[in-house]
Amino acid sequence: MERIKVQNISKKFNLNKRKRQGALGKIIRLFSKIEGNEIQVIKDISFTLNSGEILGIIGKNGSGKSTLLRILAGIYPADEGKVEINGEAVYLAGLSNGLEEKLTMRENIFLVSSLLGLGQKDIKKKFDEIVEFSELKEYLDVKLSKFSSGMISKLAFSISIFCVSHKNPSILLLDEVFNSGADFKFQEKALKKMEELIKGGAAVVLVSHDLDLIKRYCNKAILLSSGKIIKSGKPEEIAKEYLSSH
């Protein structure tokens, strides 16, 4: 089943003219390809994605990867073109988003889970699994301000993965979710859990700078540069093209 259909989409961002006045503004306009008061971030992109397919998006910082994913998620509207989403889509980016340092681990589980769309009954059902997977049971009533970055990564991933798996979405939009400050053993466990989710039959769009992950999980990939698709094809070929362009 076709889950995502993108037809010739483009996106520009408006910039504040006053922030670009003077010598600094001239330098920014010269090197960032800004026309007037707008910058082109996505240009004439088209692709389709079916159930069970995993698309990797590769590109340098500023190439438009995250903007494209946010358009698919409905966070940004496309200025031109058409996006068709067939099914429930879940967008994950920066897994620590939503966590509050002033709250305890227990309170954060309820807060972030609710932000990810779970009701109170569902959160209570998943609560013990989240805590067990995080390996942080003894810190349940400790405020996050006392947590290390690795502990925060463990908690954030555990909440996100169990909330998403509970919703069982037909489309997954993942923006650098594999980056983790946790220890190697936990990262391996997290990857296995994410692999279960990815291989569950959903259509997946995966943005990552980790080319090994793209080659491992994806069955096709696209290379973005300055908001345009430079090349599309097998992940190994696209990764090779990306490395050669550096």
Q: In this predicted model, what pLDDT tens digit does every residue of 78-113 receive, in sequence order?
A: 999 999 999 989 888 866 668 999 999 999 999 999
State residue 37's pLDDT score: 74
State residue 95's pLDDT score: 64
Would you say 117 and 47 are in contact if contact means Cβ atoms under 8 Å apart?
A: no
Q: Which domains does the chain have, with CATH numbers?
A: 2-88+205-244 (3.40.50.300), 89-168 (1.10.8)
Q: In this predicted model, what pLDDT tens digit does every residue of 166-176 receive, in sequence order?
A: 888 899 999 88
Per-residue pLDDT band at 23 (split at 50, 70, 90): low
State residue 178's pLDDT score: 66
Per-residue pLDDT band at 18 (split at 50, 70, 90): very low
Strand ranges for the chain from DSSP E: 2-14, 34-35, 38-50, 54-59, 80-85, 89-93, 171-175, 203-207, 220-225, 228-233
Lowest mean pLDDT among 1-15, 16-30, 94-108, 182-196: 16-30
Single out the residue of 112, 125, 115 nearest to residue 152, CA to CA.
Answer: 112
CA atoms within 13 Å, Cβ hemisphere of 215: 10
Would you say 133 and 165 are in contact if contact means Cβ atoms under 8 Å apart?
A: no
Q: In this predicted model, what pLDDT tens digit does every residue of 25-77 receive, in sequence order?
A: 555 455 555 555 788 999 999 999 999 999 999 999 999 999 999 999 999 99
How high is the mean pLDDT of the chain?
87
Q: Which string of DSSP letters, residue by residue, matches 68-108?
A: HHHHHTTSS--SEEEEEE-S-EEEEESTTTT--TTSBHHHH
Reading the block at residue 139, the tokens are: 């810190």
Per-residue pLDDT band at 177 (split at 50, 70, 90): confident
State residue 194's pLDDT score: 77
User: For the packed helices 149-167 and 184-198, what is the interaxial angle rounded to 10 degrees?
Assistant: 20
Distance CA 66, CA 123 (A): 29
More confident residue, 98 or 144: 144
Give the pairing type, strands 54-59 and 220-225.
Answer: parallel
Residue 135 pLDDT exceeds 80: yes
Distance CA 194, CA 178 (A): 9
Q: In this predicted model, what pLDDT tens digit does every residue of 149-163 receive, in sequence order?
A: 889 989 998 998 888
What is residue 236's three-state secondary structure? helix
Distance CA 59, CA 57 (A): 7
Distance CA 17, CA 217 (A): 43
* Residues in Cβ contact with 60 at an 8 Å cutoff, skipping those fewer than 6 apart: 225
Distance CA 226, CA 71 (A): 16
Q: What percent of the chain is predicted at pLDDT more than 70?
A: 88
